[in-house]
Amino acid sequence: MRSKLLQLLRQTNGYISGQEISKQLGISRTAVWKHMEELRKNGYELEAVPRKGYRLLNDPNRAGEDEIKAKLQTQTLGQEIIYKNEVTSTQEEAHEAARKGAAEGTIIVADRQLKGKGRLGRKWESPPGSGLWFSLILRPPIPPQEAPQLTLLTAVAVTEAVTEATGLQPQIKWPNDILLNGKKVAGILTEMQSDPDRIQAVIVGIGININQMEFPEELSDIATSLKQESEGTTYSRADFIAILLSRYEYWYHHYLKHGFLDVKKRWEALTFTIGKKIKATTVTKTLIGTAVGITDDGVLLLKKEDGEIEHIYSADISL
Ligand code: BT5
């Protein structure tokens, strides 16, 4: 109920009356008042004005433009911020912004996605108030076939940011999963707008479960959040995105200047996929073998039992 109330307060420009809240949420005025007190105890600053109603002044967990800008320490990434309370998917918004010429480093952040996207048309669960759902627009001067390297670079930046923000040490599962204790805490979706020989834009979608304490049933065994993995500590989403964009900027500039090699080495140090016996399910077939490394393009090398090496460009990996 409290998250519904928060959503209502966040969506309202100005004041909303206690009566309106009790009507919209189907609870009594006394219950509204009690929930407001709880929110206050949790650090939310609420103004209550007779005959006008309630207004949210300070939202400790909001990751809006002002909150992010107050924390940012980057030169280019995140200098342009488009913030929305609710979108279909930040990827769609970012594609549109990129087509209209948005500058490199622009981020599109949403509190909630109604149709968050995973790879291959899968769904990304993106409830309001708890996670970080955003897309970053890059315009790297690299050939289109090298764009998958950016997925690995992103995984390195997200992993390092989690460690810096929480002290936890996630592991990367090729190509795009960030895991804590074997459960997925973040996912990455890299998409591209490109001519045959030139990238127009790369849209890097990043979803990180920050403060969720529960997941829908189908995810409860496979998903986790930073909060769940740190005994209920609540993290600031604005702090987290600022840390992540700093790590990202460091690696992105390093990559553009010196190439993929150092990113690859760092990625290999942070993954648990390499050296493991795995099952790789691609769109057309299932392969079993040992993951022996990645190529300089970020392609996974799988050594089959007969010794032959397969190049895996896109697949789901299980152990
Ligand atoms: C991904 O796909 O992991 C990419 C997720 C990218 C999400 C970001 S959020 C901002 C931007 N806007 C978008 O619309 N998308 C990006 P994939 O590897 O296909 O994994 C999808 C699978 O992860 C689902 O089929 C579920 O099993 C699981 N899953 C869904 N929501 C999850 C969540 N919140 N946490 C952990 N696992 C989840």
CATH architecture of structural domain 276-318:
Roll (2.30)
Q: Whose CA is nearest to atom 29 of ligand 1?
A: 124
Of 223, 227, 196, 197, nearest in space to 210 by CA: 227
User: Three-state DSSP class for 234?
Assistant: coil
Q: Supply the CATH classification number for the domain 1-58.
A: 1.10.10.10
Q: How many Å lie between the centroid of ligand 1 and the Cα of residue 268?
A: 22
What is the distance, to the nearest Å, from the Cα of residue 251 to the centroid of all Cα atoms in its chain? 17
Q: What is the pLDDT of residue 60?
A: 67
The token duo for 231 is 């005994």
- The finding on whether 134 has its CB within 6 A of some atom of ligand 1 is yes
**Average pLDDT value for residue range 95-102:** 98
Whether the per-residue pLDDT at 9 is higher than 70: the answer is: yes
**Residue 24 marked in a binding site:** no
* Atom number, ligand 1, closest to the C-alpha of residue 184: 36
Q: How many Å lie between the centroid of ligand 1 and the Cα of residue 116?
A: 7
26: left (phi over 0), alpha (psi -120 to 50) or beta: left
Q: Whose CA is nearest to atom 7 of ligand 1?
A: 207
Q: What is the pLDDT of residue 12?
A: 85
Q: How many Å lie between the centroid of ligand 1 and the Cα of residue 275?
A: 25
Mean pLDDT of the residues in the chain: 93
- The finding on whether 218 has its CB within 6 A of some atom of ligand 1 is no
Whether the per-residue pLDDT at 150 is higher than 70: the answer is: yes
Q: What percent of the chain has pLDDT over 70?
A: 99
The CATH superfamily label for domain 65-270 reads: Bira Bifunctional Protein; Domain 2 (3.30.930.10)
Q: What is the pLDDT of residue 7?
A: 83
Q: How many Å lie between the centroid of ligand 1 and the Cα of residue 120?
A: 10
Among 124, 135, 151, 179, which residue has the most ligand 1 atoms within 8 Å of its CB, making it the best to mutate? 124
Of 54, 315, 282, nearest in space to 174 by CA: 315
Alpha-carbon distance values, 149 to 153, 246, 317 (Å)? 6, 19, 18
Whether the per-residue pLDDT at 61 is higher than 80: the answer is: no
Phi, psi (rounded to 5 degrees) for 54? -105, 155
Q: What is the pLDDT of residue 57?
A: 85
Q: What is the pLDDT of residue 58?
A: 74
Q: How far apart are CA 97 and CA 100, in angstroms?
A: 5
Confidence of residue 227 (pLDDT cuts 50, 70, 90): very high
* Atom number, ligand 1, closest to the C-alpha of residue 91: 12
**Residue 265 marked in a binding site:** no
Q: How far apart are CA 33 and CA 40, in angstroms?
A: 11
Whether the per-residue pLDDT at 289 is higher than 90: the answer is: yes
**Domain spans in the chain, listed from the N-terminal domain onward:** 1-58, 65-270, 276-318
pTM of the model: 0.86
- The finding on whether 144 has its CB within 6 A of some atom of ligand 1 is no
Q: How many Å lie between the centroid of ligand 1 and the Cα of residue 177?
A: 9
Confidence of residue 66 (pLDDT cuts 50, 70, 90): confident
Phi, psi (rounded to 5 degrees) for 52? -105, -45
Whether the per-residue pLDDT at 62 is higher than 90: the answer is: no
